[in-house]
Structure 1
Amino acid sequence: MIDQGLEHRSAAVTEMPPELRHDVRLLGKLLGEVIAEQGGDDLLADVERLRKAVIAARRGEVSADVITEMVAGWEIERAVEVARAFTCYFHLANLAEEHYRIRTLRERDTEGRVQRESLAHAVQELGRERVEELLRGLELHPVLTAHPTEARRRAVVTAIQRVSGQLTEYNAPGRGASERAESRRRLLEEIDLLWRTAQLRSTKLDPLDEVRTAMAAFDETLFRMVPQIYRSLDAALAAGTGTRPPLARPFIRYGSWIGGDRDGNPNVTARVTREAVQIQSEHVLSALEAACTRIARTLTASAQFAPASPELGTALAVAIDAHPEVVSELATRSPREPHRQWLLFVANRIAATARRDLDLAYRSPEELLADLRLTQESLAAHAPRQAYGELQHLVWQVETFGFHLAELEVRQHSQVHAAALEECRAGGELSERTEEVLATIRVISWIQERFGAAACSRYVVSFTRSADDVAAVYELARHALGGRAPVLDVVPLFESGQDLENAPRVLTGMLEIPQVRERLEATGRRMEVMLGYSDSAKELGPAAATLRLYEAQEALTAWAAEHRVRLRLFHGRGGALGRGGGPANRAVLAQAPGSVAGRFKVTEQGEVIFARYGHTAIARRHIEQVTNAVLLASSPTVGERTAAAAERFRDLARQVASASERAYRALTEAPGFAEWFALVSPLEEIGSLRLGSRPARRGLGAPRSLDDLRAIPWVFAWAQTRVNLPGWYGLGTGLAAVSSLDELRAAYAEWPLFNAMLDNAEMSLAKTDRSIAKRYLALGGRDDFAQQVLEEYDRTRNLVLQVTGHSRLLENRKVLSRAVQLRDPYVDALSHLQLRALRSLRTEDLSERERERLSTLLLLSVNGVAAGLQNTG
């Protein structure tokens, strides 16, 4: 099938590395075989006709109208099969690129030089003493969220992972001919299963499904990756890692909103929150038990060569007295191997903790750590490599994940609290919603009793407008539990432009709340504030929101210094560029000086979770890059340089922001815009994809304004139209408002924020296709809106190229440019299929059966375009 498609002579093909070309061709060829076997040669021939036509259209050899006619001539069932073919191809192409990236990372790691943006690079740049100093306060806190931006079913993800395993086997060096033939057969088998797996969900996810989906990232990647990060840092700090006590302290803490975020999601209840923590605990305790058992079974050091310390000997004697049936059996199986006996006993206790056997269970992770350190101290005297090798990895895992895996955070809208508080104060019968608010606080208390305050104490308040919104949560806690209220760190979330400006005033008001003052005293004057990227970008446009968020960071940093508060900013960023996405390490370096200070907390959303945490090597590289950036951003040299650039270009930035916001609002707030947007995009149909448990829209019916839309479907739908408007609209007008091109170029060269903003816009523009986009925009019957969008695209593209000095988009991003160019023709194919369905659904009088069949085609194409663009919401 699509292996032949790589013969077209675009820059993407000529620049493709041989290993990647081999894998893409192999997988494409095998997919072609499967399609021919299952759908017949005529289906494969139709796929090929469309593939060749979209490639020819890219060269200007065929009119897009010819493709429109071709697609319109197929029966809907045939169009659905063709859409499935291209969607499967994208899954396989993405897999091939992932394998190439992993190979590249490993090759770089064996070259004997320090990789850029690694932990070793940070130590090299800043010096060991400075890094050790920063380590004392270093905090990296990724928070997994269930925002519905992962378009693939879990079954599809699993099928892709099986193909991945077989591709690894096929490419393994030293394989004989028969082994290679068997690997090829197994690859075909798994690709066949991928082809037969339904791409669309038949039922809507509930919140606990989302919790279990996120657990796959922990089981398969995070648990193993975290100690590798610490080991990498320890090795960079000094020689002898694994033979001495570690210099690297654990600095990663994972959080989760999955099962805790109830803002706009009535499906997340107190019961769900309770069960979410229990599921997390089951997974982490199972992982800890397995790791401890594995280490214990390999720790066969004899007492003759590694005698137990007196302390460990005493602990074993106490254990025999308390649990003779358990320890005696271990001693029989492992005679004169005291460390092995002890760790097997520890593993038994971890298992007992999971099954709630109170006689044997650990009461806290600290108890488990004490037993592990007792083992380390005993081994260190005679077998230091055994003390600080794999056993140290287990210590780091316990320190990082505890018994709860990730801190579950609760989020709710300030208006919900206000309404609940009004009812509580009135003293009458409470509504179901208010009872649910109080039940949530009682569940937080239960979680803390069971797992400790570290498992769940942060309560995020969406759309915080005043300190009263924070005080409301504490008052509701009194109504829920009286004087037994749980530990609560209420986190204000500032999202709109006005709220971002008012943030320092709100924080000043918070200092008057007794419970806030108590928490500041208890935590060494720590406070957390969350900044919302999605809604601010939807309201102001990408350029104005970026600059408004930066100014908010500056103001909050100054406020914290004035009030002697150790502030941690929590960045609510999405995966797509229109929601604060882009390379995470560059985003860190673009923060306002002093706002990082060794602490970085950020949401990891939807498809980003699997993109970053789907494979251990990629996850490790991501975390190393972000940590490197946090360390560098926290150094005085980088901070001073960034501050100087920000001051120099402040007026220029405000010019850009003001003009871009006016242009953005002129479009998005125009009468009829929301209705037009619903017509030109698959916005209404996206809800049928069953991407997540959260409703896609506030309220019922078609959107009347942007306020009715959540940021995720707003961005998702624009990506489907190939316009990607949330990632760049208004920036061209903003840049045009500055009279000096030289000043814009200087800002791009010297100011990390301005550089990242333009580079992210360039990525978004590169994924925009003007000719395809024009066809979508025409569906709305508003030539004025369509013309505004296309003119701003042309303006933005032209000025971004002028300012960056690039002759074409992504000229300096070779890998990304190659990926975009490789995919573009095949995304075009799916876009034409989607346009056929969308046009008919919008303009024709259809029977219910016809509408259902076209909706299936539309949703399949949505799924495929998401896979091809690798961006959804």
Structure 2
Amino acid sequence: MKSLQKQAIFENEVLVRFDLFKSLFLTLPFQRVKHTGTILPFFATHCQKGVADKLPPEEIIDSFFGQYEQYVQEDDRIDFLFRIVQYIERQVVLFDAVEDSSFKALGKTDDTEGLDALFKSVQNNPELKKQIAKKLKDFSVRLVLTAHPTQFYPGPVLGIINDLIESLKADDIQNIHLLLQQLGKTPFLNKEKPTPVDEAASLAWYLENVFYKVASEIHLRVDAELEDTDKSGKQLVELGFWPGGDRDGNPNVTWESTRKVASLLRTILFRCYYRDFRVVRRRITFQGVQEPLQKLQDIFYENSFNPSEDAVDLTDEILTNLHAARKVIVEQHGSLFVELVDDLIHKVNTFGCYFTTLDMRQDSSILRETFNHLSAKYPEETGISGTEYQESAEAKQAAIKFTEAKLDLEESPDSLIEDTVNVIRLVKDIQRSGSERAAQRFIISNCQKAADILGLVQLFLWQGWTKEELHMDFVPLFETVDDLKHAAEVMQTLYTHPWYAEHLRSRGNKQTIMLGFSDSTKDGGYLMANWSIYKAKIELTAMAREHEVDLVFFDGRGGPPARGGGKTQRFYASMGREIENKHIQLTIQGQTISSQYGSLDTARYNIEQLMHAGIISELKQREGDTLTDQQKRVIDQLAHESHQKFLNLRHDPLFLKYLEVLSPLKMLSSINISSRPVKRNSDRELRLEDLRAISFVTSWSQLKQNIPGFYGVGTALKWAEDNNLWSVVQNLYATSGMFSTIIDNCMMSMTKSNFDITSYVQDDKTFGEFWKGLYEEYCRTKEYVLKLTGAKHLMENYPVERLSILEREKIILPLLTIQHYAIRVLNEGNISEEKKAVYEKLIARTVYGVVNAGRNLA
């Protein structure tokens, strides 16, 4: 009954309103728009029937044009297809806005509860209230914004979406009509690839307009509910930032762009403060407060509009003046408007002079090259030769003497080495301008040995940092299946290394470890990736507890299940006793940012859900969330069977060729969506290990096959049934939040799949059998997940999300038909270079629309 109620609400609040407001497109004063809108329903219906009949895309397109005499010429047909794409792009925006505007009407989604339920439970339970208050003393949620391109809306379109949401909430038809006109005239494409600084500026919109308000509000609410008087500057909601700092595989990120982004973040924060301060100044017009308010006026204004290149951390000075003004207001003016000052004090305590921590990230191979170059260039100063460092893990660790020096690069042998040296020096300047919280982490991608971390520590000491002033956290990133297996061994070496153990103590004995889902999914398949990370967390937690280290897991969770996303709150609520869960840290990107954190309402709700998940996972653990030894063995076997199935697919000589020929993979590099290249080592032939996970997942999602989100699961479940383990798997789904979340996320990926679109491939001489193998595993997985969950159709227990996905898939089906048609035309060849460029542009435009509609892709 509850599901039916939710479904009815969604149909009324979203689907009916979408159809209503969609009709406004036909009233826009653009003749071409009106004509396209009139004919689009016929084209969409034609595509739906053609796909259902499993027709090739060129047959669907050609038979449609055969009904209209005005579309005889190829140029007229292409022009029409472009107009269809442009129209659907704007329909997607409208659907996003209608759905987001209905957030409150829809109520809570199908995930875990938020802080309301938590605070209600403590009203008559003082003991639980004490437990939660104690838990929150050492608990935080850190959201790290990344520029990974899983949404392609440019800044102006994002602005229209947000304005449209507010107008839809108010049913302001006149303004909605005006905004749709603006949308009709606003380009959806970037003319040039964005720079890292452009990406930072785009994401800063969310910092300024959403997180600045919401993070502070949540802090205030928790303090009030729990009657917490401790104002020592602890942070429940922390923010991290990657644009400008994440240089792994992105040569466009340089130390200069890092410097610009750090300055940008600081300036935007001071502008937020200045806006709030103007309200304070307008109300606080009393005697005795002029001096501190004038000092604050000067600080906020100068740092907002005349930022200095040699800026320093002014947090203490700001707070001193705010408290001085507050004291006068309380003692001499009856606390009139003191709440305005308190609000600003709280925000300054929350954000200081830095706003968000700018993380640095680089691949271990680049860091090793830098180490080798400096040690070879300065053997006397370092006491080590480059050849020693390259010999073995033991030789590397023995060779690192942790000497302090200032080693310059007189001649740069490589731009990446030069950047590494310069950014290490730059971090010190960033810390000076915003405290160590402005930049305190360096993440080592592809971390394989303890020496990768120790070598980076030494690089800092060779660039003017001293052991006493090394206010940095060194974060290994373990991502491939093999690296995850050896992660605990690497950390054991570090925890027992005398110098590193001493450094950890100086950092509060806290160690952050990043675990990445992206490459592990690409490397081992969906089930193995999830299990490898979960198992690594258990092993790493045990190792940290043995050495009394406060362990923080930082999860590289992208938007889609194929990249570790999906039902994130449920995942964190299901951590058992064997996994450290004091702090929740995860990356958010693309549509995850805009759909879950794009407005005050959604951001507040989703952050509170994460907080609730972290608190409840420790205080009210379900018994089944701590796996038994038998359950671990069964999941391990399931993962092994799934991994073998995925490896067989990966090793098929057609695997990458299939993506290159049938998906828009090759076109992704020419689309102006991101400052990052589609693949690492872009100067050599495409290899799977070089292909970025986002490009990998995006390509499969454009095919509507979503292989990274389900492949191998059906084979593993069938194996369990064949080996009399089905009852164990059923019990796992019923009792383990981790396992049920994996299965539910798998069903989400499958709901976004539609093999009918590519069914024509089964007759292809080259790829026919390969396609059939993919489809067989899809059918097998669907059969077994439905059997396991007892559902009649995928996502039966999540009716709101299911309806949203199905409507979005319906909207973009014509885009996919056009895309596959254009790809087929290009593959056939025999067209001029001019026409080839036109079809490539058409494909690129469909990619934008499909990804924007997908909300987390696969």
Same fold by TM (over 0.5)? Answer: yes
Q: Are 1:296 and 2:281 matched, yes or no?
A: yes
Q: 1:741 to 1:523 in 2, by over 3 A?
A: same
Partner of 1:495: 479
Partner of 1:721: 703
Q: CA shift at 1:154, angstroms?
A: 1.9
Partner of 1:468: 451
Q: CA shift at 1:540, angstroms?
A: 0.5
Measured in 2, the distance between the counterparts of 1:258 and 1:63 equals 41
Measured in 2, the distance between the counterparts of 1:855 and 1:735 equals 41
Measured in 2, the distance between the counterparts of 1:378 and 1:340 equals 10
Q: CA shift at 1:541, angstroms?
A: 0.5
Give the aligned residue type for 1:206.
T
SS of the residue 2:621 aligns to:
helix
Whether the 8 Å contact between 1:444 and 1:486 is mirrored in structure 2 is: no
Partner of 2:388: none
Measured in 2, the distance between the counterparts of 1:14 and 1:66 equals 38
Whether the 8 Å contact between 1:407 and 1:455 is mirrored in structure 2 is: yes
Give the aligned residue type for 1:568.
V
Partner of 1:141: 142
Partner of 2:597: 613
Give the aligned residue type for 1:560.
A
Partner of 1:415: 365
SS of the residue 1:527 aligns to:
strand
Q: 1:647 to 1:398 in 2, by over 3 A?
A: farther
Pick from 220, 224, 245 the counterpart of residue 213 of structure 2. Answer: 224
Q: CA shift at 1:367, angstroms?
A: 2.9
Give the aligned residue type for 1:97.
E
Give the aligned residue type for 1:157.
L
Whether the 8 Å contact between 1:281 and 1:403 is mirrored in structure 2 is: yes
Q: CA shift at 1:258, angstroms?
A: 1.0
Summarize the alignment of residues 462-861 of structure 1 with structure 2, pairs less than 5 Å apart. Answer: 462-481=445-464, 483=466, 486-513=470-497, 515-635=499-619, 637-638=620-621, 641-643=624-626, 645-700=627-682, 704-739=686-721, 740-775=725-760, 781-861=766-846
SS of the residue 1:692 aligns to:
coil
Q: CA shift at 1:27, angstroms?
A: 2.2
SS of the residue 2:827 aligns to:
helix
Q: CA shift at 1:675, angstroms?
A: 1.5
Whether the 8 Å contact between 1:410 and 1:460 is mirrored in structure 2 is: yes
Number of equivalent positions: 802
Q: Are 1:279 and 2:229 matched, yes or no?
A: no
Q: Which runs of 5+ in 2 are unaligned?
A: 72-76, 123-127, 379-410
Q: 1:383 to 1:246 in 2, by over 3 A?
A: farther
Q: CA shift at 1:72, angstroms?
A: 6.3
Whether the 8 Å contact between 2:556 and 2:586 is mirrored in structure 1 is: yes
Q: 1:486 to 1:266 in 2, by over 3 A?
A: farther
Measured in 2, the distance between the counterparts of 1:501 and 1:61 equals 44
Q: 1:482 to 1:188 in 2, by over 3 A?
A: closer
Measured in 1, the distance between the counterparts of 2:192 and 2:241 equals 24
Measured in 2, the distance between the counterparts of 1:423 and 1:275 equals 27
Q: What TM-score does the superposition give when structure 1 sets the normalisation length?
A: 0.86
Q: 1:753 to 1:384 in 2, by over 3 A?
A: farther
Q: Are 1:159 and 2:160 matched, yes or no?
A: yes
Give the aligned residue type for 1:422.
N
Partner of 2:180: 191
Residue identity (%): 25
Q: 1:650 to 1:103 in 2, by over 3 A?
A: same
Partner of 1:31: 25
**More deviation, 724-733/371-380:** 371-380
SS of the residue 1:370 aligns to:
helix
Whether the 8 Å contact between 1:270 and 1:440 is mirrored in structure 2 is: yes
Measured in 1, the distance between the counterparts of 2:6 and 2:472 equals 53
Give the aligned residue type for 2:793.
R
Q: CA shift at 1:835, angstroms?
A: 1.1
Q: CA shift at 1:221, angstroms?
A: 0.8
Measured in 2, the distance between the counterparts of 1:398 and 1:232 equals 16
Q: CA shift at 1:682, angstroms?
A: 0.7
Measured in 1, the distance between the counterparts of 2:581 and 2:55 equals 56
SS of the residue 1:826 aligns to:
helix
Give the aligned residue type for 2:484.
L
Whether the 8 Å contact between 1:676 and 1:780 is mirrored in structure 2 is: no
Q: CA shift at 1:593, angstroms?
A: 2.8
Whether the 8 Å contact between 1:142 and 1:602 is mirrored in structure 2 is: yes
Measured in 1, the distance between the counterparts of 2:685 and 2:442 equals 30
Whether the 8 Å contact between 1:680 and 1:779 is mirrored in structure 2 is: no
Measured in 2, the distance between the counterparts of 1:690 and 1:185 equals 34
Summarize the alignment of residues 66-215 of structure 1 with structure 2, pairs less than 5 Å apart. Answer: 67-70=60-63, 75-105=77-107, 117-125=113-121, 127-169=128-170, 171=171, 183-215=172-204
Q: Deviations over 1:471-526 (max 9, x none)?
A: 11122223322658753221111111111111111112223555523331212211
Q: 1:380 to 1:625 in 2, by over 3 A?
A: farther
Whether the 8 Å contact between 1:677 and 1:780 is mirrored in structure 2 is: no
**More deviation, 776-785/282-291:** 776-785
Q: 1:335 to 1:581 in 2, by over 3 A?
A: closer
SS of the residue 2:189 aligns to:
coil
Summarize the alignment of residues 329-478 of structure 1 with structure 2, pairs less than 5 Å apart. Answer: 334-336=285-287, 338-339=288-289, 342-343=292-293, 345-354=295-304, 363-377=313-327, 379=329, 389-427=339-377, 429-432=411-414, 433-478=416-461
Whether the 8 Å contact between 1:254 and 1:401 is mirrored in structure 2 is: no
SS of the residue 1:201 aligns to:
coil
Q: 1:592 to 1:501 in 2, by over 3 A?
A: farther
Q: CA shift at 1:573, angstroms?
A: 0.9
SS of the residue 1:604 aligns to:
strand
Q: CA shift at 1:216, angstroms?
A: 0.5
Measured in 1, the distance between the counterparts of 2:151 and 2:191 equals 15
Measured in 2, the distance between the counterparts of 1:564 and 1:601 equals 20
Q: CA shift at 1:717, angstroms?
A: 1.1
Measured in 2, the distance between the counterparts of 1:384 and 1:233 equals 26
Whether the 8 Å contact between 2:359 and 2:440 is mirrored in structure 1 is: yes
Q: CA shift at 1:30, angstroms?
A: 1.1
**More deviation, 454-463/771-780:** 771-780
Give the aligned residue type for 1:418.
R
Q: CA shift at 1:784, angstroms?
A: 2.1
Q: CA shift at 1:125, angstroms?
A: 4.4
Whether the 8 Å contact between 2:362 and 2:444 is mirrored in structure 1 is: yes
Whether the 8 Å contact between 1:143 and 1:602 is mirrored in structure 2 is: yes
Whether the 8 Å contact between 1:716 and 1:872 is mirrored in structure 2 is: yes
Measured in 1, the distance between the counterparts of 2:345 and 2:765 equals 59
**More deviation, 190-199/275-284:** 190-199
Measured in 2, the distance between the counterparts of 1:583 and 1:769 equals 22
Whether the 8 Å contact between 2:743 and 2:785 is mirrored in structure 1 is: yes
Q: What TM-score does the superposition give when structure 2 sets the normalisation length?
A: 0.88
Q: 1:704 to 1:430 in 2, by over 3 A?
A: closer
Q: CA shift at 1:703, angstroms?
A: 5.6
Q: Which runs of 5+ in 1 are unaligned?
A: 1-9, 110-114, 172-182, 300-333
Whether the 8 Å contact between 2:233 and 2:349 is mirrored in structure 1 is: no
Whether the 8 Å contact between 2:157 and 2:186 is mirrored in structure 1 is: yes
Q: 1:475 to 1:523 in 2, by over 3 A?
A: closer
Measured in 1, the distance between the counterparts of 2:176 and 2:417 equals 54
SS of the residue 1:128 aligns to:
helix
Measured in 2, the distance between the counterparts of 1:247 and 1:130 equals 19
Whether the 8 Å contact between 2:762 and 2:769 is mirrored in structure 1 is: no
Q: CA shift at 1:356, angstroms?
A: 6.7
Q: CA shift at 1:54, angstroms?
A: 4.1
Give the aligned residue type for 1:666.
N
Measured in 2, the distance between the counterparts of 1:526 and 1:647 equals 29
